[in-house]
Amino acid sequence: MKKFGRMLLALSLLMTVIIPFQHADASSTFKDVTLYEKEINFLADKGIINGYENGTFQPEASIKRIQAVQMLLRAKGIKDLSGAPDPNFADLKKGDYGYEEAAKAVQLGFISGKQDSKTGKKYFNPWNTLTRGQMAKVLSLAYNLKGTTVSEFYDVPSTDGFYTYINALAYNNVTTGYSNHTFKPYQSISRQHFSVFLARTLDSSFKEDAANRAITGGLKPNPRKTYVYSYSFDENYSETVKYTGTDSGIDNWTGRDTDGDTYDYAYSEDKDGFIAGWQDGFISSTVPYPLKLNTKWTDDFYEDEDPITYVVTSMNKTITTPAGTFKNAIEIKTNFDTSEYYVQGVGLVLMLDTSVKPVDKIQELKKIY
C-alpha cells in the first residue's frame, strides 16, 4: 500500500493542466467584450442590455443595483412602469433616476430594499454594487426559481440569508460556483457575470452541460458536515465520521462505528487531484484533476496485487441514497467491477459491487448533517 507523500508526487506528475477558455464569436455587439460574447449578444439582441454611447459594455465593471433591476424588467418584458405604489425608499424619490424601475420591481416582488434598524427608514442603495448573493436572490424571486440540492457550497451555510436562493440557482444549473466549490456570496458581481446568469435563466442552452464539464476540486468531504455510512457486510452496521482538523494540508477525520470502534481517515486535495486514505499515511483511492468524461488512470496500491484502473463514465448521474438525491454525481468505474459516485461539496456518496446481481452497495451515505 502506498503512502500519502509518494502518491502526492506521483499524482502531480500524472496530471496535465488544462486551462479553460472561451471561444470567440465571429463578432461582438460591443468592442470591449471578449468573453461570454454569446450570452451578452443574446441579451443585446433582445434589448435587455444597451451598453454605453462609446460602443462599450464595460464587462468587468461591477453592476449597480439599479442596473440589475433595469435589466430584469426588460428581460421580463415590463414596459409600463406606471401605477406602482411608492416603495418609500429614503434614498430614491419620485423624479429621481431609476425611481420608477425600483418601484415596479418592489411591486413585482423581486426587490424590497433594506430597513435601517435605528431610524426605521428603508433604503435601496441604487448605486451600490450588487453582490453574488443578491444576484441569486433577485433572479430566484424574479423567475420563481425553486429547488434544493444536497450538494452545497463550502462558504454558504444553511444559516446564510442567501442559502435558499443560491441553492435554487444550483439546482436549476444556473450556477456551479467556483472550482473549489465556493460561491463567494458577498463578492461584487461584474456586468458580464450578471449577464451570464441572466442568459442562463432565460435560455437553458447557455447552461453548462453537466455531461461535459471538467472538475478541478470539491470532491473531498465537507468539513462542516457529519457523515453516516452504511456497509453491505452488515445491514445493522454503520459508521459516523466527523472532521477533526487539518495537519500539513491534510484533513483528518475520525469515524466511530456502531460497535464503538474508531477509525482515523485522511483526505488531501489540491490542483492536481484528490486523495483519500488513513491518517497513518496509507492511501486507498485517488482522483486526478482536471477530471472529465473518459478520464482514465491507474493506481497500484498493493504491491502483491494487480493495479486498479479507473475511468470516468459519467459526469451527470442522479444518485439516490438514504441521505438524499444527488444531481450531477460523477461515476467512476474500475476493472474490478466496482463503481464509485462522487458529488462536489459532499464527497463519496456510494460505492457499488457490480459483479453480482442484484448490485451490492459496498458503501452508501446514509445521513449527512
Domain limits for position 306: 217-368
Q: How confident is the model at residue 16 (pLDDT cuts 50, 70, 90)?
A: very low
Closest CA to 154 of 366, 346, 368: 346
Write out pLDDT tens, residues 308-332: 999 999 999 999 999 998 888 999 9
Residues 313 and 182 in one domain: no
Q: Would you state the pLDDT for residue 327?
A: 85
Kindly state whether residue 71 falls inside one of the protein's structural domains: yes
Residues 164 and 223 in one domain: no
3-state secondary structure of 66: helix
User: Per the structure, how many domains does the chain have?
Assistant: 2
Rounded to two decimals, the pTM is: 0.75
Residues 179 and 224 in one domain: no
Residues 51 and 191 in one domain: yes
Write out pLDDT tens, residues 200-217: 999 999 987 888 888 998
Kindly state whether residue 94 falls inside one of the protein's structural domains: yes
How far apart CA 243 and CA 266 sit, in angstroms, is 9
User: Where does a domain end: 211, 227, 243?
Assistant: 211
Type and span of the H or E element at 235: strand 234-247
Residues 167 and 74 in one domain: yes
Enter the C-alpha cell of residue 12.
502531480
Residues 202 and 350 in one domain: no
User: Where does a domain end: 211, 236, 266?
Assistant: 211
Q: How far is Cα of residue 265 from the mean position of the Cα atoms in its chain?
A: 25
Write out pLDDT tens, residues 86-142: 999 999 999 999 999 999 999 999 999 999 999 999 999 999 999 999 999 999 999
How far apart CA 267 and CA 252 sit, in angstroms, is 7
Residues 224 and 272 in one domain: yes
Residues 205 and 58 in one domain: yes
